[in-house]
Amino acid sequence: MTAANLDLSAFERALAALERALARAAAAPEDEELRDATIQRFEFTFELAWKMLKRRLELDLPNAQEVDGMSYRTLIRVGAEYGLIEADTVAAWFVYRDKRNITSHTYDAAKAAEVAAIVPAFAQHARALLQRLQARGADDA
């Protein structure tokens, strides 16, 4: 894999859609359908975020196979070591995964509200990750 192969466009589009959903949900906090749509966009954006981080690390680390064997937690920590994830947000990224896993098992209004509460912070951290991935790609060009 070369740096040119790291296409961030899907991540960019997903994050933009999440940010639009957040803006609409903030304007109508009692709208459950908007909340649910925001959560669904969070799920999709979260998946793209950590997969783009993984692909970037596969490019940066001397042994790409090493990245394949990493747990999610290790991947996030290594991402912070390489300056792709802000060090003070590592614990938050662990929470995001926990919340993502909650959404995939069962629907419960209280759990949905719990997940929705972390989405704004996730969007900020995902934006920071995207910007760092873009900067790293520009460095390779």
- CATH number, domain with residue 29: 1.20.120.330
State the Cα–Cα distance between residues 42 and 28, nearest whole angstrom.
18
State the Cα–Cα distance between residues 81 and 19, nearest whole angstrom.
27
Q: What's the pLDDT score for residue 4?
A: 47
- pLDDT tens across the length of the chain (141 residues): 444 468 999 999 999 999 999 999 999 999 999 999 999 999 999 999 999 999 999 999 998 899 999 999 999 999 999 999 999 999 999 999 999 998 876 678 889 999 999 999 999 999 999 999 999 886 665
* Domain extent for 91: 3-140
State the Cα–Cα distance between residues 71 and 28, nearest whole angstrom.
38
State the Cα–Cα distance between residues 21 and 40, nearest whole angstrom.
10
Specify the number of domains making up the chain. Answer: 1
Q: DSSP letters along 64-105, please?
A: HHHHHT--HHHHHHHHHHTTSS-GGGHHHHHHHHHHHHHHHH
